[in-house]
Amino acid sequence: MENSAFISIRNLRKAYLNDRPVVHDFSLGVAQGEFVSILGASGCGKSTLLKMIAGLTSISGGSIEVGGMSPQNAREIMAFVFQDAALLPWRTVARNVEISLEFTGMPRSRRAPRVESVLKLVGLSDVAEYYPRQLSGGMKMRASIARALAATPQVLLMDEPFAALDSLTRNRLNEELLVLRERERWTTLFVTHSISEAVFLSDRIVLMGADPGRAVREVAVRLAAPRTAALRADPVFLGLVGEVSQALAAIES
């Protein structure tokens, strides 16, 4: 593992009842600004891995460093986007986004300009005063991403954020996410079940095996930027999707 990794995971282990490991001997280095997807079958420990990196659950062995800090000390530079947008129904879109700034202790006078800026970034300026019940699924997820970005994180952890959306909305948000990433240059770990999504978004894909969860193989995604909707019909893209699909099938067999 390279010493220059911004996220450094070494021999990570997580066990629950009866000391049965959920994640075992997992090591990974992620460079600053890199987008890495974690792909694997349900139950292989992908979400648990992300929660350990975020400091939301304890580790049973090994180590995690984010920017040279423990997950607990690195919380101020990380943001987590869950599968469920988890917007507070009694707050407007703008007030939901503002929550992350409240947690950081930003003075009220500075919050409004930042909220306005990040809502513009994700294309939600026109619905800032809407409530979650008035939003589509895609708009709710944009609001969730805006909330994560409001505190200007260096690391973005995303746990299947688009899984509940229809394919057209999901594809569009994938494209928008890459545009945002080019502007903001976060270091990103992205958990997904979708092979095509992982190929479209990533610089690198880590394939996990199950029982216990472990890193089995990595696939480099050497596709030029900008990546647009047209890429999905490109033979090189389709070839990578096929390669990853076969590799994942071999792991799960």
Q: How far apart are CA 244 and CA 205, in angstroms?
A: 9
Kindly give the interhelix angle for 108-121 and 137-149, rounded to the nearest 10 degrees. Answer: 130
Strands 35-40 and 187-192: parallel
In the chain, which stretches have pLDDT less than 50?
A: 1
Would you state the structure tokens that stand for residue 52, as one six-digit string?
Answer: 């350990």
Q: How far apart are CA 28 and CA 37, in angstroms?
A: 12
Specify if 122 maps to a domain.
no
Encode pLDDT of 103-119 as tens digits.
888 888 889 999 999 99
pLDDT of the residue at 174: 94
Specify if 199 maps to a domain.
yes
Cis peptide before 21 (omega within 30 of 0): no
Specify if 135 maps to a domain.
no
pLDDT of the residue at 253: 76
For the chain, give the mean pLDDT: 92
pLDDT of the residue at 4: 79
156: β partners: 79, 188
Q: How many domains does the chain have?
A: 1
Specify if 133 maps to a domain.
no
pLDDT of the residue at 138: 93
pLDDT of the residue at 3: 56
Q: Residue 15: which CATH number? A: 3.40.50.300
| Domain range enclosing 37 | 7-84+154-252
Encode pLDDT of 57-104 as tens digits.
999 999 999 999 999 999 989 999 988 888 999 999 999 999 989 888
Specify if 227 maps to a domain.
yes
* Cβ(83)–Cβ(70) below 8 Å: no
Specify if 91 maps to a domain.
no
Residue 242, CB half-sphere, CA atoms under 13 Å: how many?
7
* Cβ(151)–Cβ(75) below 8 Å: no
Specify if 167 maps to a domain.
yes
Q: What is the pTM (predicted TM-score) of this model? A: 0.92
pLDDT of the residue at 247: 94
Specify if 141 maps to a domain.
no
